[in-house]
Chains A and B, each alone.
Chain A
Amino acid sequence: MSKADLTALAAQLEEYLGDPHDAGSRMSFTRVLDHDEHEEYPYAFVSQLRRWGVHEYSLPAEQGGRAGNVETGFNLMRLVGRRDATTATALVITNLSFMPLWIAGSDEQKRSAVEDMKRGGGLSWGLSERDHGSDLLANEMVAEKTDGGYLLTGEKWLIGNATVADTMVVFARTGKRNGPAAYSIFIVDKRQIPAITAEELPVEKLHGLRALDLSGLRLKGAFVPDSARVGAEGQGLEIALKSTQLARTVISSLAMSAVDTGLRLTLDFTEGRVLLGTAVSDVPYSRRQLTEAFADLMVADAVSLGAVRSLQAAPEQLSVWSSVVKYLLPTLLEKTMSQLNMVLGARFFLRDHPHYGPYQKMLRDLLVANIADGNTVVNLRNLGQQLDGLLASAGGAAPAVREAAAERAATLFGMDRELPVYEPWKQELFSRGQDDAMLAAPDGLSRLRALAEEAKGTERDRLLRAADEAEELLDRVGPLTDRAAELKAELGREYAQSAELFELSKEYCLLHATAACVLTYVHSHGVLDDPLPSGALLLLQIERLRRHLYPHESVTDPSVIDEVMRVLRHLHRENRLFSHWQFPLAERVADLTAARL
């Protein structure tokens, strides 16, 4: 789907959902907050989004869905999520629960599930268990072979949609001896199993996403036919891990949407409130806070642009892209939101403020992105296991390898480039040192400098400075490699579990993000709408990443901040998503009197 087509589709969904501040719109903040306060599952929102067909953009066209590119469904979900992360999560869970089928299911299994979902059926993904968290190899639900099928016994806990969805895809042990090949995946249609063999667990009370159905399912000898098994017996772990990769890649949309709304609400306040004759937006300190939050969001946008596109353009590297995005974005954006709290002041703490009430909900909801589908520790460990190979190739790949990566990077970060068809079975669990963002970074820097030379005046200077600062950060690959080697020599077998390795992995994520910002700029600058691209914004993005390593140093001056504020103001006034995509949002029709309270 071209950028123009995706923009048009996004605009249609926005128009359908309406201005969330308008109490009469289809998904108003008033009703969203009401569901949250009363912890009531948002059936009505889910239903009207299904009627529109939003979930079909994440289901395969071959079996009756409308999915072309993953980024279509991903971006539509951002528009839902900017109103209500709970509804977005409820919808996303159904789509993510379909992933095991998409990866390894038969044509009949896929077709039947898609038909069911198009008729309003929901799916849940029964992966985790109460006592085992992220440790899949310790899972206890068993599937005993019997005539014509399996008998499932065990409990799945903290499962989204477990109660409201009729069907759960479960991960259960089929092998006698424990190990990676001991697990398989089954489709459990709760309408088809003997009533006495299944029982839903209570819906948990949550800090955020209060209206979500996060519950579980207990099975006791529940019979499922052989046709309910997804893929081969013993293939379960691989399928589950590949499914999780997609989940990790797309879930950060919730955090991005939360900060989009958080920043938009904050700007409603700072643009309207005048202190000593100056709009709060124009108080230098507030202005810096606002533009930094915007730059953080644009860093997240660039990183997720590449990560979501890597599902199709570099599926063999997904283990890296999915873990980088899953660790970095939620942790980064939690800090961003904290920074915005201070600008919005006491309003951020009020649950029923007529205009700012949604802010506190976003603040709570965005935390889910950190813990769901593999938490920070799991993802940093995954990167740590691959770090030696990643650093070795980032620092010393052959020119031909870099050239091939640079070519792929043009697709990964080129918003208008055609993507290969999504074939999730091509995803791999280890990337063998390949990370196109890092491998293509030198090419990206050369292109950035060439673009700078074509620019004039301050824009030229800012782009050159951004290239210099980005290069300096990316040059940390060398010292990072040395530190990893020293640590390995010092710790021996303890290295793989050491706290220091987690820190090295965090730093690697910052370098990947730096490369993503540069590559997004150089490969998408031509298709961005005014007021993008912006050298000032790119420089501030790099500064924000640099701050994690040099927290007391700033490489932007007030003129850079002023220019980024101009860009941010434009997007706010023109009512665009804070993103490189700049989707046009529903027209703001609600009276803004409440924003001045």
Chain B
Amino acid sequence: MTSPTRPDPTSLWLLPEQAVDGFAAALGGTRLLTADERARLERRLTPGARRRYLGARLLCRYALSARTGRPPDRWRFRLGEHGRPEPEPDEEGVRFNLSHTEGLIACVVTQGRGCGVDVGPTPSTAELVTHLGRRLAPAERAELAATASGARAARASELWVLKEAYLKARGTGLCRSLGGFSFLTTAVGRIAVHDPEQPAGADARWWFDLLHPGPQHVLAVATEDGRPGALRRTDLSDLSLSDISYV
């Protein structure tokens, strides 16, 4: 094609937990996993935790293969400084990040740009609202306090996934205090971060998308040098039932 393609979309892949078994069966079960990953899988205590771990390991291979064309059985990973997995070898220069919660697994992929994703339940439990309330930045605490009580738990969930997604994109994980940086929504509806640890101007490079993929989930994606409309979401269904609508 000769038309200009919009550069480097941010790909977000979603796999419902209920579709993991079929998805895994279609991809050969645990065949694609390394021995270490298989061992980690076995250490998961509950069937749900095992299902989500397996789904996440397979989803990232599927998503990375879709982006690069590298076969799904050729992905290996190394852990970064704070335990963030990166492709090894890094032939195509892609970055990715995974998140899962009960019911949903998410994977984000970019071409070399920092990216993080976090998915969580919504609305938050009362305990989480209280817990978060103590750890947020002052401006966020004020915002949460000013939010109508009926909407407060949902807003708490949004702030939580935004913070997680940002930290995961930065590669620091939860090593930092959540109150050390803050989120605000600008007058034009853009979600912006204020992070005093970053050099001047660096905050503006971060783009955040906040999604509600279902009534019980909220999800945030943080991307470096992102832009509006760049997020390309693909929902996966159970591969083994892929033709069910035609039956």
Contact residues, A457-490 vs B (CB, 8 A): 460-461, 464-465, 468, 471, 474-475, 477
Measured in the bound complex, the distance between the Cα atoms of B1 and A474 in whole Å is 7
Measured in the bound complex, the distance between the Cα atoms of B5 and A399 in whole Å is 18
Measured in the bound complex, the distance between the Cα atoms of B176 and A494 in whole Å is 65
Q: Which residues of A have CB within 8 Å of B26?
A: 552
Interface residue? B198 (CB, 8 A)? no
Q: Which residues of B have CB within 8 Å of A7?
A: none
Once the chains bind, are A464 and B229 in contact (CB under 8 Å)? yes
A468's partner among B6, B235, B236, B239 (CB-CB below 8 A) is B6
Interface residue? B233 (CB, 8 A)? yes
Interface pick from A193-201, A301-309, A442-450: A442-450
Once the chains bind, are A292 and B245 in contact (CB under 8 Å)? yes
Name the residue on B nearest A546 (C-beta).
Answer: B234
CB distance from A259 to the nearest CB of B (A): 14
Once the chains bind, are B1 and A339 in contact (CB under 8 Å)? no
Name the residue on A nearest B237 (C-beta).
Answer: A552
Interface residue? B127 (CB, 8 A)? no
Q: Which residues of A have CB within 8 Å of B213?
A: 557
1/0 per residue A520-542: CB within 8 Å of B? 00000000000000000000000
Q: Please tell me the size bucket of the interface on B.
A: 20 to 34
Once the chains bind, are B236 and A553 in contact (CB under 8 Å)? yes
Contact residues, B213-239 vs A (CB, 8 A): 213, 228-229, 232-239
Contact residues, A326-342 vs B (CB, 8 A): 335, 338-339, 342
Majority DSSP secondary structure for residues of B touching A: loop
Evaluate whether A468 and B1 lie within 8 angstroms (CB atoms) in the complex, with A555-B233, A557-B233 already known: no
Q: Please tell me the size bucket of the interface on A.
A: 20 to 34
Measured in the bound complex, the distance between the Cα atoms of B1 and A19 in whole Å is 47
Measured in the bound complex, the distance between the Cα atoms of B205 and A31 in whole Å is 69
B246's partner among A338, A445, A465, A477 (CB-CB below 8 A) is A338
Q: Which residues of A have CB within 8 Å of B4?
A: 446
Once the chains bind, are A471 and B1 in contact (CB under 8 Å)? yes
Measured in the bound complex, the distance between the Cα atoms of B145 and A415 in whole Å is 56
Once the chains bind, are B6 and A464 in contact (CB under 8 Å)? yes
Once the chains bind, are A402 and B2 in contact (CB under 8 Å)? yes
CB distance from B244 to the nearest CB of A (A): 9
Evaluate whether A552 and B242 lie within 8 angstroms (CB atoms) in the complex, with A460-B229, A464-B229, A557-B233 already known: yes
Interface residue? A571 (CB, 8 A)? no
Interface residue? B103 (CB, 8 A)? no
Name the residue on B nearest A556 (C-beta).
Answer: B235
Interface residue? A47 (CB, 8 A)? no
Interface residue? B85 (CB, 8 A)? no
Measured in the bound complex, the distance between the Cα atoms of B4 and A392 in whole Å is 20
Measured in the bound complex, the distance between the Cα atoms of B233 and A449 in whole Å is 18
Measured in the bound complex, the distance between the Cα atoms of B4 and A281 in whole Å is 39
B235's partner among A443, A449, A553 (CB-CB below 8 A) is A553
Q: Which residues of B have CB within 8 Å of A460?
A: 229
Interface residue? B243 (CB, 8 A)? yes
Once the chains bind, are B2 and A552 in contact (CB under 8 Å)? no
Q: Which residues of B have CB within 8 Å of A552?
A: 23, 26, 236-239, 242
CB distance from A149 to the nearest CB of B (A): 54
CB distance from B209 to the nearest CB of A (A): 11
Q: Which residues of A have CB within 8 Å of B247?
A: 338, 342
Interface residue? B186 (CB, 8 A)? no
Measured in the bound complex, the distance between the Cα atoms of B3 and A471 in whole Å is 9
Contact residues, A290-345 vs B (CB, 8 A): 292, 335, 338-339, 342
Measured in the bound complex, the distance between the Cα atoms of B9 and A461 in whole Å is 13
Q: Which residues of A have CB within 8 Å of B236?
A: 552-554
Measured in the bound complex, the distance between the Cα atoms of B247 and A438 in whole Å is 32
CB distance from B121 to the nearest CB of A (A): 18
Measured in the bound complex, the distance between the Cα atoms of B232 and A338 in whole Å is 30
Measured in the bound complex, the distance between the Cα atoms of B228 and A464 in whole Å is 11
CB distance from B52 to the nearest CB of A (A): 18
Q: Which residues of B have CB within 8 Å of A339?
A: 245-246
Q: Which residues of B have CB within 8 Å of A292?
A: 245
Once the chains bind, are A555 and B232 in contact (CB under 8 Å)? yes
Once the chains bind, are A461 and B229 in contact (CB under 8 Å)? yes
Measured in the bound complex, the distance between the Cα atoms of B232 and A441 in whole Å is 21
Q: Which residues of B have CB within 8 Å of A474?
A: 1
Q: Which residues of B have CB within 8 Å of A399?
A: 2
Measured in the bound complex, the distance between the Cα atoms of B236 and A442 in whole Å is 28
1/0 per residue B1-29: CB within 8 Å of A? 11111100100000000000001001000
Evaluate whether A468 and B9 lie within 8 angstroms (CB atoms) in the complex, with A445-B1, A474-B1 already known: yes
A442's partner among B1, B237, B238, B246 (CB-CB below 8 A) is B1
CB distance from B7 to the nearest CB of A (A): 11
Interface residue? A277 (CB, 8 A)? no
Q: Which residues of A have CB within 8 Å of B5?
A: 468, 471
1/0 per residue A544-588: CB within 8 Å of B? 000000011111010000000000000000000000000000000
B3's partner among A335, A445, A464 (CB-CB below 8 A) is A445
Interface residue? A289 (CB, 8 A)? yes
CB distance from A460 to the nearest CB of B (A): 7
Once the chains bind, are A443 and B242 in contact (CB under 8 Å)? no
Once the chains bind, are B3 and A442 in contact (CB under 8 Å)? yes
CB distance from A269 to the nearest CB of B (A): 18
CB distance from B115 to the nearest CB of A (A): 18
Q: Which residues of B have CB within 8 Å of A464?
A: 6, 229
Q: Which residues of A have CB within 8 Å of B2?
A: 399, 402, 442
Among B6, B23, B229, B238, chain A packs the most CB atoms within 10 A around the CB of B229
Measured in the bound complex, the distance between the Cα atoms of B234 and A355 in whole Å is 39
Name the residue on A nearest B241 (C-beta).
Answer: A552
A-B contact pairs, 29 of them (CB 8 A): A338-B246, A338-B247, A339-B246, A342-B247, A399-B2, A402-B2, A442-B3, A445-B1, A446-B4, A449-B3, A461-B228, A464-B229, A465-B232, A468-B5, A468-B9, A471-B1, A475-B1, A552-B238, A552-B239, A553-B234, A553-B235, A553-B237, A554-B235, A554-B236, A555-B232, A555-B233, A555-B234, A555-B235, A557-B235
Top 7 A-B residue pairs of the complex, sorted by shortest distance between their CB atoms: A551-B242, A442-B3, A554-B235, A552-B242, A445-B3, A552-B239, A442-B2
The residues of B with any CB-CB pair to A shorter than 8 Å are 1-6, 9, 23, 26, 213, 228-229, 232-239, 242-243, 245-247
**Additional 15 contacts, C-beta under 8 A, given A464-B6, A554-B235, A555-B234:** A338-B246, A338-B247, A402-B2, A443-B3, A445-B3, A446-B4, A465-B229, A465-B232, A468-B232, A474-B1, A475-B1, A477-B1, A555-B232, A555-B233, A557-B213
